[in-house]
Structure 1
């Protein structure tokens, strides 16, 4: 883990390029540090001034005469190398570089940024930036930024750490956090990330005792393993991470010779990463801060469960108590969409409510009706009854504007005050119109408040997921390099396996494949077919032609020797006219003869090597339907059997295993194990693997059977060199 203490807890700060004008980039940090209460030493460095904003100025870092924990660098990009040399000589441990004109400005800027990063590494300096808005530690009143926004007010000190790749987003998020009263611990913008990445900050915040929740804005990621490591650290620490990831279109999907690459866009891979580590994803700024509010202030439900599904959030039994039947239905609809169960009101509590208000609804939602105006105590008894019943993980109550009613507020205070002191009472979330003072009182006792009733229900799902995260265990499989050598034996320029080679690789790994053999001519093909038993399939076998059907290279349901001979002849003739991408003739490698597998459904399983995050698995309904419906699920490989089972359900491929129209049910756990085995194999094959796709896996009474396989490779640059 990168140590950010010198950056975020500096005892001394030098501002290199310090300005006498407080509103300049080199002047604002000094103004903020002085006016907002920073307690450490501040050293302005400006060779042209004796004093800067009332502080003695120094001609260089060396003139300070002692090491400095943090340097804020506000000089032109062309002077950055000289400043970095001074930092090395001064013993400075961290630097924030505001300056732009680096990688974002073209090739010359890229070279300057590379030199800056290299100099920082050699000097042992933790580098933030360049082209960033800086960092803040709210608890220490440390403002290493040139943004003037803190002058308009500082958010309360809290337990939410915020990190953003974008300075503009970071500044806006800071202002919104202040408006929302969301307490911040740290605020960091990473800019061009020549040194620190968002992942470094997430991992540090995961280990920071003053941070409980992490909010992150991400535009992209160059080091997927680093981000996975950071998210794993947050999960291990039980600290929820909320991410806004922009750039969600399929523009990042690579085109390749398989469905696997074209169906898994960049955003699907990011979502698989977020699902794997329990990250909460926000798609709007409002949701970004609402999730931060919920996770930082909300009590976790004691009773929760995780439904089956690779990206499914954990759920908890919910009681909805309302003064409006219509709003109660709206909340119940949202609960059903989120998979939150709504058990009926326990009979003893229901009897109390029916006795007091005979026309009240004691189902769930529990509708006390407008009678609450005349009988406010009944509404509070209903809330307390379900909260104490043990039947619910959370209680969501809709009170409209009742919380501000003089007669009802004291009753609400009494009830919530008592429940907040009871460890076994379910957490309460309130929807309605509440003034600021009452809201603060409620939140101080763990009662979250929302204007939108649906948001209260969504918060329940979020809190259940957080509770699951805090007790999570890593269920991923372990892999070893058992099969990597098999690909290393191939010529370095090989870009694909023949289907015969691919099927052999699968069979060696324990994946069920259709019985088959390789024939070099028609006579051999007939001998194999007769050994397997008719009907058979004959397919062209070639490393060069992967889409065999495009050249007439697939013949199905062949019933006798004559049909087999004719198929082999057609395929040999097709190859005679084929050319490689380089224009060379395609050699005839033979045909694959396989038993015709009978089934009632097709599943597609694919694995590809994502350039950022590594091996990614895909599953869905197979055959040509995969292109039509594009109903797939994505996960990080290797998969555990539970993860594979969830992917089959998410993609609806599991429905093919459940038996229909007289077909027997197939063991879904066994089908999931096949998918897990394929993902394990792909992870073990090493850097040489590009894609591995099985389409179709035919669903039979005996389980899934691979009927076709494509394996594409990346050039072996190590061997080639």
Structure 2
């Protein structure tokens, strides 16, 4: 882990390129540090001035005569590498480079490389270039040229915020102030010539002053660093909320030009986020709402221990409402989010029906508009479901009831009692109320939302965070939520030819079979007579396919013949395949040698699944699974996971891609053991892992789904 202490907790700061004008880039940080109470020493460096904004100025960094923890660099881009060398020679431990004109512009990559090379050579932790800086609100350290802190700062709190974009970071700072979301640190990484978003996440994961981490990302340079950082946050029980942009081709292109980030395929990033329990935000509003929820909300921990169910089980929610229509909307949200809605316990239901015979005690629990006349009945229903031990959370919709004096008084009494009861389920409230009432509820542990659907999303986020924390604690940080550690690596005995760009189908099938992946019975024939003998030994019907390392899409040249039912048909098919090979060429335009034909038994089943592994430029080997066959290009219903897969992740991929529906029994077909099906995916991913750096792609399309499970009917492995 990078030591970011001198960067984020400096005892002394030098400003190189310090300006006497408090409104210029080199002047704003000096003004911020002075006006907002930074207690460390500040050294303005300006060779043309004796004083800068009331402070003694220094001609150069070495003229200071002692090392400083942090240097803020605000000089033109061409001079930045020399300044970095001077900082390193003076013993400076960290530097923030505001200056733009590096890798984010055409022709600036070489200049950025020179800057980062100097930082590495002298052991300086570099933030930037082309960044807006960093802040530590607890230490009143404002190393930024954004003037926004001068108009007010958020409260000091336990939320760390890191952003690749400076403009986003500044806007997020202002929104955090408006939302009264307490921040611990604020960091913008810009072009990430040194410190990356991943490094800040990892450091915040170990920071005792931070409880929740918010991150804005356009892409990752180093997938392994990001995975390590997210694992550190997960293991520390600190939720991470990420707003990842560049999800479309246009967005990815914009991200590349904005901060020179490598924006990978969004589905792969989502697989990484799923692996480590990251909460994904797709809007700024959701970004801060999730931050608010996870920073202030109580986890439904008590429920699992009282119910006797596993700690990572999804906690049910009770919806208590004054409006049946809104209750239905909240129930719809709960089902979409996977939140169970068990009915009200019998005793509590009877109490409610006795007081209001026409109330609904199912779930949502609808007290109806009668709450105006009988407010105590509503709050009693809240208290009963919160204390019954059946629910992990209680979501209440008040409409405008908080503004009714009798209901508000009754609610205050009940909330006060529940806040003092450690066994009660946490309460989340939606409705219209003024800031004073909202603050009163929040001070007693109630999250408050205006939109009822947001209440349900908050319940789901807290339940997910609780499940992740419980699973991590139970498994010694194996991998949170429903995930477990991948299986033991394997070594392949099947030889992989040196210099080859692909394996033949027969070689690929041999690798899979070695790993325990079921493959269609087959053999390679060199002539028609041998093909007939193989077909007769396998049993008809059979398929005859061209066997070649150079032709991956055999059907495109007529190299696949299916459904052969006798010897004569096999002979004819062999001749056809041989002729197809004679007219084929490799990628270099050279004739393809005929290596024989695969004769394989036709596998019967009722569905097809595609399973593959490909090398992602950021995260390495990524597995995918989904509905296969010719429909794969039409529906593109795929799920992703990092290879090698765990069984739990493989099973989740089957369910997310809806491929599991082919295995659960339908139209008279038997149900398959989904864990056994998942194990096949695991073994495919182990083959990819065993091939290691040689692998480019591995694809089985189709896996035939039949009564005996999955059987690979075809396989393609390309090499680097």
Residue 468 of structure 1: how far off its partner (Å): 1.2
Q: TM-score, normalised by structure 2?
A: 0.94
**Residue 498 (structure 2) pairs with residue 491 (structure 1):** yes
**Residue 662 (structure 2) pairs with residue 656 (structure 1):** yes
Identify which of 583, 590, 610 aligns with 1:584. Answer: 590
Residue 660 of structure 1: how far off its partner (Å): 2.6
SS at match of 1:696: strand
Kindly indicate whether the alpha-carbon contact (under 8 Å) linking 1:320 and 1:397 is maintained by their aligned counterparts in 2: yes
Identify which of 602, 608, 611 aligns with 2:614. Answer: 608
* Structure 2 match to 1:509: 515
Separation in structure 2 between the aligned mates of residue 349 and residue 97 of structure 1, nearest angstrom: 62
Identify which of 545, 551, 572 aligns with 1:545. Answer: 551
* Structure 2 match to 1:258: none
Residue 303 of structure 1: how far off its partner (Å): 5.9
Separation in structure 1 between the aligned mates of residue 664 and residue 401 of structure 2, nearest angstrom: 50
Separation in structure 1 between the aligned mates of residue 264 and residue 523 of structure 2, nearest angstrom: 36
- The size of the alignment, in residue pairs, is 694
Residue 252 of structure 1: how far off its partner (Å): 9.8
* Structure 2 match to 1:6: 6
* Structure 2 match to 1:565: 571
Kindly indicate whether the alpha-carbon contact (under 8 Å) linking 2:300 and 2:315 is maintained by their aligned counterparts in 1: yes
Kindly indicate whether the alpha-carbon contact (under 8 Å) linking 2:245 and 2:251 is maintained by their aligned counterparts in 1: no
* Structure 2 match to 1:240: 239
Query: Could you list the per-position Cα deviations for residues 10-36 of structure 1 after superposition, in whole angstroms to 9, with x for gaps in the alignment?
Result: 111111110000000000000000001
Kindly indicate whether the alpha-carbon contact (under 8 Å) linking 2:68 and 2:91 is maintained by their aligned counterparts in 1: yes
Identify which of 696, 700, 706 aligns with 2:706. Answer: 700
* Structure 2 match to 1:535: 541
Residue 358 of structure 1: how far off its partner (Å): 2.0
* Structure 1 match to 2:437: 438
Query: Could you list the per-position Cα deviations for residues 528-552 of structure 1 after superposition, in whole angstroms to 9, with x for gaps in the alignment?
Result: 1122122211101111111111111
Separation in structure 1 between the aligned mates of residue 279 and residue 511 of structure 2, nearest angstrom: 38
Separation in structure 1 between the aligned mates of residue 573 and residue 251 of structure 2, nearest angstrom: 40
Alignment of 1:14-53 (within 5 A): 14-53=14-53
Q: TM-score, normalised by structure 1?
A: 0.94
* Structure 1 match to 2:475: none
SS at match of 1:505: helix
Kindly indicate whether the alpha-carbon contact (under 8 Å) linking 2:546 and 2:559 is maintained by their aligned counterparts in 1: yes
SS at match of 1:161: strand
Residue 485 of structure 1: how far off its partner (Å): 8.5
Query: Could you list the per-position Cα deviations for residues 549-585 of structure 1 after superposition, in whole angstroms to 9, with x for gaps in the alignment?
Result: 1111111121121111111111111111112222211
Separation in structure 2 between the aligned mates of residue 40 and residue 100 of structure 1, nearest angstrom: 27
Q: 1:252 to 1:554 in 2, by over 3 A?
A: farther
* Structure 1 match to 2:332: 333
Query: Could you list the per-position Cα deviations for residues 603-657 of structure 1 after superposition, in whole angstroms to 9, with x for gaps in the alignment?
Result: 1111111111011111111111222222221111111112212211221212222
Residue 85 of structure 1: how far off its partner (Å): 2.0
Query: Could you list the per-position Cα deviations for residues 62-109 of structure 1 after superposition, in whole angstroms to 9, with x for gaps in the alignment?
Result: 1212111110011111211221122112211110000111112222x2
Separation in structure 1 between the aligned mates of residue 52 and residue 384 of structure 2, nearest angstrom: 65
Q: 1:538 to 1:485 in 2, by over 3 A?
A: closer
SS at match of 1:415: helix
SS at match of 2:85: helix
* 363-372 or 189-198, which deviates more: 363-372
* Structure 2 match to 1:385: 384
Kindly indicate whether the alpha-carbon contact (under 8 Å) linking 1:251 and 1:265 is maintained by their aligned counterparts in 2: no
SS at match of 1:105: coil
Identify which of 572, 580, 585 aligns with 1:574. Answer: 580
Separation in structure 1 between the aligned mates of residue 552 and residue 571 of structure 2, nearest angstrom: 22
Separation in structure 2 between the aligned mates of residue 369 and residue 602 of structure 1, nearest angstrom: 50
* Structure 1 match to 2:258: none
Kindly indicate whether the alpha-carbon contact (under 8 Å) linking 2:205 and 2:236 is maintained by their aligned counterparts in 1: yes
Q: 1:645 to 1:588 in 2, by over 3 A?
A: same
SS at match of 2:130: coil
Query: Could you list the per-position Cα deviations for residues 115-155 of structure 1 after superposition, in whole angstroms to 9, with x for gaps in the alignment?
Result: 11111111111100011000000001100000000001000
Separation in structure 2 between the aligned mates of residue 572 and residue 250 of structure 1, nearest angstrom: 42
Kindly indicate whether the alpha-carbon contact (under 8 Å) linking 1:399 and 1:430 is maintained by their aligned counterparts in 2: yes
Query: Could you list the per-position Cα deviations for residues 184-232 of structure 1 after superposition, in whole angstroms to 9, with x for gaps in the alignment?
Result: 0000000010000000000000000000000000001111111011001
SS at match of 1:624: helix
Kindly indicate whether the alpha-carbon contact (under 8 Å) linking 1:499 and 1:542 is maintained by their aligned counterparts in 2: yes
Separation in structure 2 between the aligned mates of residue 406 and residue 654 of structure 1, nearest angstrom: 53
Separation in structure 1 between the aligned mates of residue 362 and residue 583 of structure 2, nearest angstrom: 73
Separation in structure 2 between the aligned mates of residue 115 and residue 75 of structure 1, nearest angstrom: 15
Separation in structure 2 between the aligned mates of residue 304 and residue 486 of structure 1, nearest angstrom: 54
Separation in structure 2 between the aligned mates of residue 376 and residue 252 of structure 1, nearest angstrom: 51
Alignment of 1:358-507 (within 5 A): 358-471=357-470, 472=472, 473-474=478-479, 475-480=484-489, 482-483=491-492, 486-487=495-496, 490-492=497-499, 494-507=500-513
Runs of 5+ consecutive residues of structure 2 not aligned to the other structure: 254-262, 305-311, 473-477
SS at match of 2:629: coil
Separation in structure 1 between the aligned mates of residue 663 and residue 252 of structure 2, nearest angstrom: 30
SS at match of 1:340: coil
Residue 314 of structure 1: how far off its partner (Å): 6.9
Separation in structure 1 between the aligned mates of residue 204 and residue 468 of structure 2, nearest angstrom: 16
Separation in structure 2 between the aligned mates of residue 551 and residue 198 of structure 1, nearest angstrom: 48
* Structure 1 match to 2:170: 171
Alignment of 1:95-110 (within 5 A): 95-107=95-107, 109-110=108-109
SS at match of 1:497: coil
Identify which of 689, 693, 696 aligns with 1:690. Answer: 696
Alignment of 1:13-412 (within 5 A): 13-107=13-107, 109-249=108-248, 266-302=265-301, 315-412=314-411
Kindly indicate whether the alpha-carbon contact (under 8 Å) linking 1:250 and 1:267 is maintained by their aligned counterparts in 2: no
* Structure 1 match to 2:309: none
Residue 667 of structure 1: how far off its partner (Å): 2.0
Kindly indicate whether the alpha-carbon contact (under 8 Å) linking 1:610 and 1:616 is maintained by their aligned counterparts in 2: yes
Kindly indicate whether the alpha-carbon contact (under 8 Å) linking 2:12 and 2:41 is maintained by their aligned counterparts in 1: yes
SS at match of 1:407: helix
Separation in structure 2 between the aligned mates of residue 143 and residue 545 of structure 1, nearest angstrom: 60
* Structure 2 match to 1:260: none
SS at match of 2:445: coil
SS at match of 1:104: coil
